[in-house]
Amino acid sequence: METKPVSKLKTTPLNAVHRALGARMVDFGGWDMPIEYSGVISEHLAVRNGVGVLDVSHMGEIEIRGPQAVNLVDFVTSNSASSLQDGQAQYSGLLYPNAGFVDDLIVHRISAHHYFLCVNASNQEKDFDWMTSHNQFDAEVEFASAKYVQLAIQGPKALATLSKLTDTDISSIRYYWFVQGKVLGVPAIIARLGYTGEDGFEIYVPPNEGERIWKAVLDAGSEFGIVPCGLGARNTLRLEAAMSLYGHEIDDATSPYEVGLGWIVKLQKGDFIGRDVLLKQKEQGVQRKLVGIEMRGRGIARDGYRVLADGEPVGHVTSGSPAPFLKKNIALCLLSTTKVEPGTKLEVDIRQKLVEAEVVRLPFYSRPKQ
Q: List the chain domain ranges.
A: 15-56+148-240, 60-144, 287-364
Query: 121 with 104: CB under 8 angstroms?
Result: no
Please give the Cα distance from 24 to 128 (Å, whole number).
Answer: 31
State the pLDDT at residue 368: 86
Residue type, 302: R
Instruction: Give the 3-state secondary structure of residue 28.
Output: strand
CB-based burial, 264-290: b 16+ in 10 Å, e otherwise: bbbeebeebbbbebbeebeeeebebbb
- Distances in Å between the alpha carbon of 280 and those of 95, 102, 212, 283, 365? 15, 20, 51, 5, 32
Instruction: Give the 3-state secondary structure of residue 35.
Output: strand
Answer whether CATH 3.30.1540.10 is correct for domain 60-144: no
State the pLDDT at residue 4: 42
Is the preceding peptide bond at 363 cis, omega within 30 degrees of 0? yes
End-to-end CA distance of the chain: 64
- Interior angle at CA 84, CA 81 and CA 89, nearest 5: 85
Please give the Cα distance from 89 to 81 (Å, whole number).
Answer: 9
Whether 287-364 and 15-56+148-240 are alike in CATH topology: the answer is no
User: Block means of pLDDT (10 residues each) for the chain, length 370 residues?
Assistant: 59 98 96 98 98 98 98 98 98 98 98 98 97 98 98 98 98 98 98 98 98 98 98 98 98 98 97 98 97 98 97 98 98 97 98 97 91
Which fold, 287-364?
Elongation Factor Tu (Ef-tu); domain 3 (2.40.30)
Answer whether CATH 1.10.3720.10 is correct for domain 15-56+148-240: no
